[in-house]
Amino acid sequence: MTADHVFTALASPARRELLRLLLEEGGQPAGRLAERFDMSRPSVSEHLRVLKDAGLVSESRQGRERHYRLEAAPLMEIRDWLSPYERFWREKLANLTDLLDEMEDHGQDS
């Protein structure tokens, strides 16, 4: 799965909410997930399909129900991809803090 597929899947607030529910409450049937949304069950199923295609959830059948479970590996890949950007911004903020501290020190010397 490519990062583009994962970013596309994460672009939807409904899909992010589905992932949150699976993270916090564990795997569950599609019907139970659909009950939590103000949209048709087929719409929720379509969101689950996009998440599955991106590798963010796995699906298993238990009798007549489809159960979904969070798959964290693609999120770890995105985290790794974002890591250099996080370091960049941490350095910028540290430099800003140093500058503000320096300005404060000079203001007290006057």
User: Could you read off the pLDDT of 44-77 as tens digits, one per residue?
Assistant: 999 999 999 999 999 999 899 999 999 989 988 8
Per-residue pLDDT, 18: 97
User: Could you read off the pLDDT of 20-39 as tens digits, one per residue?
Assistant: 999 999 999 999 999 999 99
pTM score, whole prediction:
0.75
User: Could you read off the pLDDT of 77-110 as tens digits, one per residue?
Assistant: 888 888 888 887 888 788 888 788 888 887 776 5
Residue 1: pLDDT band (50, 70, 90) is low
Question: What does the pLDDT average to over 2-7?
Answer: 86
- Alpha-carbon gap, residue 68 to 26, rounded angstroms: 9
Check residues 98 and 42 and name the one with the higher pLDDT. Answer: 42
**The CATH classification of domain 3-71, taken from the options 1.10.260.40, 3.40.50.2020, 3.40.630.30, 1.10.10.10:** 1.10.10.10
